[in-house]
A and B are shown apart, each in its own frame.
Chain A
Amino acid sequence: MADLGSIALALGALVSAYATIGSLLGVRAAIPELIISSKRAIYMSLLAAAVASATLLAAFLSNDFTIKYVYENSNLAMGRGYTLVAFYAANEGSLLYIILALSLMSAVSIMLAPRRFQSAMPYTTAILGGILCFFFATTLALANPFERLDFTALDGRGINPLLLHPGLYSHPPLTMAGLIGISIPFAFSTGALISGLYGDDWVDIARVFAIIMWGLLGIGMLIGAWWAYTILGWGGYWSWDPIENVALMPWLVLTAFIHSIMVQRRRGMFRMWNIALINIAFVLAQLGVFINRGGTVVSVHSFAESSLGIVFMCFMIVSLIFAFTIFLWRLPSLQSARNIESFLSREASFLVNNFMLIVITSVTLWGVVFPLFSSLARDVDVSVSAPYFNRVNGPVLLGLIIVMGIGPLLPWRRASSRSIQRWLIPPILTAAIILLLLLISGIREPWALLGFAAIAFAATSILEEWWLGTRARMRNLRESIPLAWWHLVNGNRPRHGGYIVHLAVLALAMGVIGTQFFDQRYDAAIKPGESLVIDNYRIEYIARKSDDRPDRLAQWAELNVYSIHMADYSDGFARATAAGKAGFVTDDAKRSGDRLIGRVEPRHETHRNFNMVSVRSGIMSGPIKDLYVIPRDFLADGRVSLAVSINPLALWLWIAGPIFLVGTIVALWPHPALERSAYRARISEAQSRIDGTAQTA
């Protein structure tokens, strides 16, 4: 099987090189046959990638340990279900996955390209072919997943135990596909620039693919955060780790792009800015590939490290120079016909939003590259940790939420300050009421207060938008509330899909504020029969269980969780408060008010082949707070050492995921053909109504 895989990779490299050279020659020498043939070469690169991927999967399924990659990432004991995870568990396989994802997206995008884009298509094909050729050739020459093993192995080493988690079916593939997929909008915008199509011909297809990549990256990062929360055993979900940051930065720039591209679609403005944004996102995605695969930055995502850093760094630099050389060459032709008419307009609010997103990206980028510069320039190893990012990015993110509340209220072109004041009253009132309620309930943390007020402000502005639109339809078109709302959302899906995504961001912000400002934690070792009391929970240690297998030793603690009346334990809480602790240990019999609400079983798994311990936290989730139990250690005297946290509003982090997905799908959902055919009728009907109104006036 190894030979077939390597042949497929070599053929992939050749056909993608042919796609680049053929397209450029074809357009230069005006040979249409060569252009069409080059386009087909992209489809053939997909075939080559699919054959190579199928070969690797077959090797995993047949336990072909003559292949080094299969030997290093699977064993006979590994469940068949984890074959897909094993496929991209290490550098070589994940590169093959990237090739498969990119060739698939390239083929689909070329197939869906609008006909009016045809004159730019050869350049787009050439760019996509060039990127594909780089990945095929690098994988074949430097990270070949079909390399043979030097010795005969009867069993493999097994999969990295940290990857044995349901989230790993989706987190790496979504994030990798999202990052590499930014090549598609980049290829379309740059292809348009090279060919001299300065207009908006590339906008529609680039927007669709940018939103898809943005959605994949967003969902991928959220699932990654969930994976970290449940398996890494440190109690958090986002650590501003360099690998997290290199996925976040292109996502932030894409967020700016999908906002400002709407201005280009609607008003023909921000042409230059949009191309600059997509170029930045593409280069940042290449930075992500570089840092993930052999960069000098230390990260928990070490499974994809390799010695390929220099190759990917060179590719990133070439991408940067290429993208911005083309951009600067065509800059004089990219002037927009119109300018912003007023600061009180939707265009201006998009510009402010873009500015804030770029600030956050720059701050994050500096935090990522500073350790590299320090290491190179001063030979001093430094690490930039979470407090830097939180302190600098926190206030800007707060500002972004406020802009998220103001933006939807502003119309295109200009708004009168009177109408703005009228629209802003409900959100400001709601924010003030929330602020007051939080102050009354004893919350004094200023940033948290501001954060919750900003969330209330933004959420109310979205609801107000929906209410005003729904009410207008109810009055004008005599529709019921649900129908009017449904038609409102359907009438402009990109806009209202965006609002749904805004709600997801607000849910996420709630989770972040809750877990950052109001978490409690207490560490203690308890023996069977003892309980640990924190907040309104009593956690009783019942027994220790274990399961000894050839490849791992699993140990877990059975813990009963009781909901308590805190007044019943006032003595213990008084002692804990005096000692500056969040909880205490007790061996008293349970109180009459205690109510059993469930059982958690936090566990340790010691993987002998990897000399590694994986941790599964015991989590009891609720909309208000999570009880989060980390098993620190199983001690020889029978005690278990626990780190117990109360994570307020953590569930909202994960609720944001499905809302985000729904919003993205709504924003992308195409107009059905039937609706398209009814466009003109609706428009002329509306026009006659307006004309009638004007005549009456």
Chain B
Amino acid sequence: MEALLGTVLALLIIATLLYPFFSSRRGAKRHALTHPPIQDEPILRRSIYREMVNLQSDFEAGYMSPAEHSKQLAEMKVAAAESMRRENAAKRQMIEAELRIEREVQRARSIALKDECSQE
């Protein structure tokens, strides 16, 4: 009985470990190696916003002067804008890549069409 339970456990573990090799979720697999900025930047900005709120609370509680607050807030805004810029650049790159692929496909189709026409 115990040997049987042990075997079931071992099989369950092996199946779980092998599953990614037979799964079709390519995107998830790719994500294990890369970290596309499109997905990461909003998370990064959320952490900047959280710090902004902390800063804001500190300011409202009178812990710092308006000038000091503005200076620190400006630094955070620059970081957030930089993150936004990276995300947009990544988006642009992705759209360009998709367009490139689309053009390649179109070209392949037109060549195939030409070939068909020439054969006819």
Chain A contacts to B: CB under 8 angstroms: 1, 3-4, 7-8, 11, 15, 18, 26-27, 30, 32-37, 39-41, 43-44, 47-48, 51, 114-119, 121-122, 204, 265-266, 411-413, 468-469, 471-473, 476-477, 488, 491-492, 494-495, 671, 675-676, 679-680, 682-683, 686-687, 690, 693-694
CA distance A696 to B58 in the complex (A): 22
A412:B60 contact, CB within 8 angstroms: no
A411:B66 contact, CB within 8 angstroms: no
B13:A32 contact, CB within 8 angstroms: no
A495 to B: closest C-beta gap in Å = 7
Given A115-B43, A472-B62, A676-B46, are A48 and B13 neighbors across the interface (CB < 8 Å)? yes
CA distance A121 to B53 in the complex (A): 29
Given A7-B9, A491-B53, are A36 and B29 neighbors across the interface (CB < 8 Å)? yes
Contact pick for B2, options A4, A26, A117, A412, CB 8 Å: A4
18 extra interchain contacts, Cβ-Cβ under 8 A, other than A11-B6, A492-B57, A679-B53? A18-B17, A26-B32, A39-B32, A40-B16, A118-B34, A121-B32, A266-B51, A412-B68, A412-B72, A469-B60, A471-B62, A472-B62, A491-B60, A492-B54, A676-B50, A686-B56, A687-B73, A690-B70
Given A4-B2, A37-B20, are A468 and B43 neighbors across the interface (CB < 8 Å)? no
CA distance A33 to B28 in the complex (A): 9
A683:B32 contact, CB within 8 angstroms: no
CA distance A265 to B66 in the complex (A): 21
Chain A residues near B40 (CB, 8 Å)?
115-116
Chain B contacts to A: CB under 8 angstroms: 2-3, 5-6, 9-10, 12-13, 16-21, 23, 28-35, 39-40, 43-44, 46-47, 49-54, 56-64, 66, 68-70, 72-73
Contact pick for A37, options B18, B47, B51, B61, CB 8 Å: B18
Given A472-B62, A683-B52, are A488 and B57 neighbors across the interface (CB < 8 Å)? yes
CA distance A684 to B10 in the complex (A): 56
CA distance A660 to B38 in the complex (A): 40
Chain B residues near A491 (CB, 8 Å)?
53-54, 56-57, 60-61
Chain B residues near A33 (CB, 8 Å)?
20-21, 23, 29
Write the chain A residue with the least CB distance to B57: A491
Given A40-B17, A491-B57, are A11 and B9 neighbors across the interface (CB < 8 Å)? yes
CA distance A39 to B39 in the complex (A): 20
A7:B43 contact, CB within 8 angstroms: no
Write the chain B residue with the least CB distance to A200: B47
CA distance A110 to B114 in the complex (A): 53
Chain B residues near A477 (CB, 8 Å)?
60
CA distance A398 to B80 in the complex (A): 42
Contact pick for A35, options B3, B32, B39, B58, CB 8 Å: B32
Contact pick for A411, options B16, B52, B60, B68, CB 8 Å: B68
Total residue contacts A-B, CB cutoff 8 A: 154
A119:B33 contact, CB within 8 angstroms: yes
B63:A469 contact, CB within 8 angstroms: yes
B56:A15 contact, CB within 8 angstroms: no
A15:B50 contact, CB within 8 angstroms: no
Interface hub of B12, B21, B50, B73 (most chain A Cβ within 10 A): B50
B29:A693 contact, CB within 8 angstroms: no
Contact pick for A4, options B5, B23, B68, B70, CB 8 Å: B5
Write the chain B residue with the least CB distance to A51: B9
11 A-B Cβ contacts within 8 A?
A35-B32, A36-B29, A36-B32, A37-B20, A44-B17, A121-B32, A122-B32, A477-B60, A492-B53, A494-B54, A686-B60
CA distance A114 to B13 in the complex (A): 26
Chain A residues near B44 (CB, 8 Å)?
116
B120 to A: closest C-beta gap in Å = 44
Contact pick for B49, options A27, A114, A676, CB 8 Å: A676
A693:B61 contact, CB within 8 angstroms: no
B66:A694 contact, CB within 8 angstroms: yes
Write the chain A residue with the least CB distance to B10: A11
B38 to A: closest C-beta gap in Å = 11
CA distance A115 to B30 in the complex (A): 12
Chain A residues near B62 (CB, 8 Å)?
468-469, 471-472
Chain A residues near B43 (CB, 8 Å)?
114-116
Chain B residues near A676 (CB, 8 Å)?
46, 49-50
Write the chain A residue with the least CB distance to B13: A44
Chain A residues near B17 (CB, 8 Å)?
15, 18, 37, 40-41, 44
Chain A residues near B28 (CB, 8 Å)?
36
CA distance A234 to B39 in the complex (A): 59
CA distance A41 to B17 in the complex (A): 6
CA distance A36 to B17 in the complex (A): 8
B57 to A: closest C-beta gap in Å = 3
Write the chain B residue with the least CB distance to A411: B64
B13:A11 contact, CB within 8 angstroms: yes
Write the chain B residue with the least CB distance to A685: B56
B56:A682 contact, CB within 8 angstroms: yes
Rank and list the top 7 A-B pairs by shortest CB-CB distance, nearest first. Answer: A491-B57, A469-B61, A7-B6, A116-B40, A32-B29, A472-B62, A36-B20
Chain B residues near A11 (CB, 8 Å)?
6, 9-10, 13
B66:A690 contact, CB within 8 angstroms: yes
A116:B16 contact, CB within 8 angstroms: no
Write the chain A residue with the least CB distance to B29: A32
Chain B residues near A115 (CB, 8 Å)?
31, 35, 39-40, 43
Given A7-B6, A40-B19, are A472 and B53 neighbors across the interface (CB < 8 Å)? no
B73 to A: closest C-beta gap in Å = 7
Chain B residues near A117 (CB, 8 Å)?
35
CA distance A472 to B60 in the complex (A): 7
Chain B residues near A682 (CB, 8 Å)?
53, 56
Chain A residues near B23 (CB, 8 Å)?
33
B7 to A: closest C-beta gap in Å = 8
CA distance A671 to B31 in the complex (A): 27
Chain B residues near A471 (CB, 8 Å)?
62
Contact pick for A8, options B6, B19, B39, CB 8 Å: B6
Chain B residues near A39 (CB, 8 Å)?
32
Chain B residues near A118 (CB, 8 Å)?
31-35
CA distance A488 to B62 in the complex (A): 11
B59:A686 contact, CB within 8 angstroms: yes
B16:A44 contact, CB within 8 angstroms: yes
CA distance A46 to B100 in the complex (A): 45
Contact pick for A204, options B3, B31, B47, CB 8 Å: B47
CA distance A297 to B10 in the complex (A): 40
A283 to B: closest C-beta gap in Å = 29
